[in-house]
Amino acid sequence: MTPAHKQLVDLLAELPDCIVAFSGGVDSAVVAKAAHLALGNRAIAVTGVSASLASGELETARRIAETIGIRHEVVSTDEFSSQGYLDNQPNRCWHCKTELYEQLGKLTEKFGSTILLNGANTDDLSDFRPGLLAAKEHQVRSPLAECGFNKVTVREIAKHWNLEVWDKPATPCLSSRVVYGLEITPKRLAQIDMAEVFLRDLGLKNVRVRYHHDDLARLEIALGDLPRLCEEGIREKITARLQEIGFCYVTIDLEGFRSGSFRQLVPAEQLVHFDSKAHD
């Protein structure tokens, strides 16, 4: 059986060139590495930057691209000019990814590339991902999914290639922390970012600060770390810092850290609608 990493490189070697939508996370890092091995200087990694990008993510993307050896470009995205994005309905990611892929599309002429790639894997295909519809509409290919790779396989490939992000927790855009229906604003995203940086500095690796109505912060923390919040001084320190940042209320989610917890708020008919549109 062909090793997974070779299967991916062989797939990309069939392309004339490519631009990789590169966040610096494990999925896009694996695609970028494979693209560089397969295509050399005909592969370019591009990172989109806006107020929705968490602190340190651009620096990580630059470092990973340099380690891989792939050419790296940075573009500014302007999803905040879209009222549909600001309204923060369950299809918010469609607006965000549409803006990203439109910016990447403009680069195809500049760099002479014709193929756009993303880091979607098979686990993403079974999830609620409006951004996949945007990818389909812009003819963006998903080589990890095409190879049948799930998240576990992708991490194994990243570890095989000694990519430092092989065990990096997923870091979606800051807007994903804002409850649906509450307007996305740069101020709210900055509050979330500052709060998560503070919590990580306390040693809480897997953490989400979910922004709810009435300036309420719901903290999702790995279950194993929950006892730390009862340690003397920790609870008071967290509450004081988050209120200083601008949250009025600070709560702990007893279910702990989990990705995409707002999906349970999406009506079933919308889940079916986006899933069918993205995969028909």
pLDDT digits (tens, 9 = 90+) for 1-38: 469 999 999 999 999 999 999 999 999 999 999 999 99
Tokens 């892929």 correspond to: 101
220 plus 83 within the same structural domain: no
Mean pLDDT of 114-132: 91
13 domain-assigned? yes
Residue 19 and residue 155 share a domain: yes
Residues 127, 224: one domain? no
Q: How many domains does the chain have?
A: 2
Residues 47 and 134 grouped into a single domain: yes
Average pLDDT in the chain: 91
Together in a domain, 27 and 81: yes
Q: Which has more confidence, 193 or 128? A: 193
What pLDDT is recorded for position 114?
83
Query: Does 243 score more than 50 pLDDT?
Result: yes
Same domain, 24 and 147: yes
- Full-model pTM: 0.90
Sign of CA dihedral 137, 143, 148, 153: negative
126 Cβ contact partners less than 8 Å away, ≥ 6 residues apart: none
Q: Are residues 136 and 194 in the same domain?
A: no
Q: What is the pLDDT of residues 171-183, one digit of tens each?
A: 889 999 999 999 9
Say if residue 274's pLDDT is above 50: no
Find the mean pLDDT for residues 275-279: 53
- Domain encompassing residue 110: 4-160
Tens digit of each residue's pLDDT (9 = 90 or more) over 70-108: 999 999 999 999 999 999 999 999 999 999 999 999 998
> Residue 230 has what pLDDT?
82
Structural domain includes residue 168: no
Specify whether 187 is located in the same domain as 72. Answer: no
**DSSP secondary structure string for all residues of 93-144:** HHHHHHHHHHHHHHHHHHHT---EE----HHHHTS--HHHHHHHHTT-B-HH
Clarify whether residues 148 and 205 are in a common domain: no
Whether residues 60 and 85 share a domain: the answer is yes
Q: What is the pLDDT of residue 1?
A: 42
